[in-house]
Structure 1
Amino acid sequence: MVFRHPATHRRADRAWALVRLTRPWFWPLGWAAAYAGSVLATRDWLPTPAALPRSLAALVVLGPLVWAAVLAVNDRHDLPSDRRNPRKATAPLVTGLLTEADLVRCQVGATVAALALAVTAIGPAFALGTAVVLLLGWAYSAPPVRLKSRPGLDVAANALAVGVLAPLAGWSLHRPVTGYPVLVAALGLLLVAALYLPTTVLDADADRAAGDTTAAVRWGTRRCRRAGLTLWVAATGVWLVVCHLGVLVRRDSWTLQDLWAPVLILGYAVAVRRPSIARLAGVCLLFAVPAADFLTSWSAAGPG
């Protein structure tokens, strides 16, 4: 039998706590959005050999580094509500496994690493976008700005970061950012805003007790769910119009898009009745079906 020294055991626990802090299950959000932007830019499913080093560096920045920086500052300033939230009972800062000083070091280290890697291995446009995302992450959580407690601005910050800047990051690996389709950016804003609103419902009671006036606290959980569904339906409707009018790419038939639209709306409506991270992840998977179908047509169309 192998016995570990208590100090070794604690170091391992703290290391795992730092990994948990970054929420690895969130990393695919940035990756998937950036990948879609990359395919839009190149009309190819895989990056060219010349772009592969930049693409791999982007995975590191958009995955562990950005999420570590953003969530470290979030957990620091959400501690009062997290202590009242059963869903956050095992969070490292709540349990005391990590300290606020640990989170400050994590935030600073991840921020410096993300910007350094973006500047040296990727490019200035990607680095600028990374800086804006990190700034939005700080502004979302940290006082005195704390956009999380400013309903409307909290939705806009998340929609801009994930719905616009993340896919634009993938696009910037291959083409100038000025060529990014405005319509795709608008659809990204609608979709991510719809996905963000139900997340405020999850923690409404704890946020209210801690004095955080989130969207769900200010507007009520029912209105947030309805607003999210309205945005989701609007995005789906606009997308179908875009497909059938051939605004971005022409194709004889969009049968899958038509058949899948009710599935998207029904799936979202069911998920937000009792929202959870797992159910919202399921909605994202549902959306991946028409997204893949469109990108297949986009790639098949060849150079635009």
Structure 2
Amino acid sequence: MTAATLVVAVSRPWFWPVSWVPAYLGLVLADRQLTPVDPPRTLLALLVLGPLVWGAVLTQNDLHDLPSDRVNPRKATAPLVTGEVGPATLRRWYRRIAAAALLTALFIGPLFVLGVAGVLLLGWAYSAPPLRLKTRPGWDVAVNALVVGVVSPAAGWAVTGDPLDFPWQFALIGLLFAAAVYVPTTVTDLPADTGAGDTTFAVRFGARTAYGVGLALWVSALAVALLCAATDTVVPRSTLGPQLVTVPLLVTAYAILTRRPTIPRMAALSLVFAIPTAGFALAIT
């Protein structure tokens, strides 16, 4: 593969929508329309939140996860595992991608730069020693939930809105949903993480507890969304009826799909959740 192809492979394009979707919701919430008010700055934000931030974060992750990646079937084709790139090359890529993310963020605004710097710092703290929060149960969940569920939608909001006006209720809903989705992913890598000595949430507490905690977080997120709709706060009251119908279905889907989580099952859960997500976007415009 060419160097450019390897860089894309390390940045894992299938991860980019994990930031793009909540960022888009934040953008729609700020603009009250489905199409962006400021397309150039929106495109720059998508560039930063997709390939640049994920590229920087995942190069760090690959560098420090090599022992577990070597025994993880899902990571068998990772460039560092196959030997197509070496650690020195990944470190060089990290510096360049991180710098590109920060420089591009300057065109969006100073607080956006601060947010990107914070995400890069959390990415380092998650993967790299001495902190390596991935191996500190609870912290691994908190970091991912904060970045995906709070920072990403706040970044979308900040493209055109005042970052200080970002609604905390939406942040809470995002935090709970993101945590609920992340917890089962620690179960999918349980054998590899156990073998490598990485004490993730699932390694520390077990798959059964992880399942219960994830389900509780999912139900809590849905409950907060219902409460917001009932009080017409951030979530429009017009969604209350549809939510009352879809909430039992979403709880059932989560309970079934995360019982023995796999990547295809988590993808299916994302597709199920896309339906009320689209409904919310339509309701606030």
Q: Same fold (TM over 0.5)?
A: yes
CA distance 1:240–1:111, shift in 2 (3 Å): same
1:296 maps to amino acid:
L
The structure whose Rg is larger is 1
Of residues 80, 91, 103 in structure 1, which corresponds to 2:78? Answer: 91
CA distance 1:17–1:259, shift in 2 (3 Å): same
In structure 2, the partner of 1:147 is 133
The normalised TM-score by structure 1 is 0.90
In structure 1, the partner of 2:150 is 164
The normalised TM-score by structure 2 is 0.96
1:180 maps to amino acid:
F
Cα distance in 1, alignment partners of residues 218 and 66 from structure 2 = 31
Between 229-238 and 65-74, the greater mean CA deviation after superposition: 229-238
1:149 maps to amino acid:
T
CA contact (8 A) 1:66 1:114 kept: yes
CA contact (8 A) 1:251 1:297 kept: no
TM-superposition CA deviations, 1:19-56 (whole Å, max 9, x none): 111110010111111110001111111112xx111101
Of residues 39, 49, 53 in structure 2, which corresponds to 1:62? Answer: 49
Q: CA deviation at 1:293?
A: 1.7
In structure 2, the partner of 1:104 is 91
Residue ranges of structure 2 left out of the alignment (5+ in a row): none
In structure 2, the partner of 1:36 is 25
How many residues are paired up? 285
Identity in percent: 53
In structure 1, the partner of 2:252 is 266
1:218 maps to amino acid:
R
TM-superposition CA deviations, 1:164-210 (whole Å, max 9, x none): 00000010011111111111111111000001111111111111111
Cα distance in 2, alignment partners of residues 238 and 249 from structure 1 = 10
CA distance 1:252–1:218, shift in 2 (3 Å): closer
Alignment RMSD (CA, Å): 1.4
Cα distance in 2, alignment partners of residues 271 and 102 from structure 1 = 38
Report the 3-state secondary structure (helix = DSSP H, G, I; strand = E; otherwise coil) of the residue aligned with 2:130: coil
1:98 maps to amino acid:
V
CA distance 1:66–1:249, shift in 2 (3 Å): closer
Q: CA deviation at 1:263?
A: 1.6
1:27 maps to amino acid:
W
Q: CA deviation at 1:286?
A: 1.8
Report the 3-state secondary structure (helix = DSSP H, G, I; strand = E; otherwise coil) of the residue aligned with 1:273: coil
Report the 3-state secondary structure (helix = DSSP H, G, I; strand = E; otherwise coil) of the residue aligned with 1:144: coil
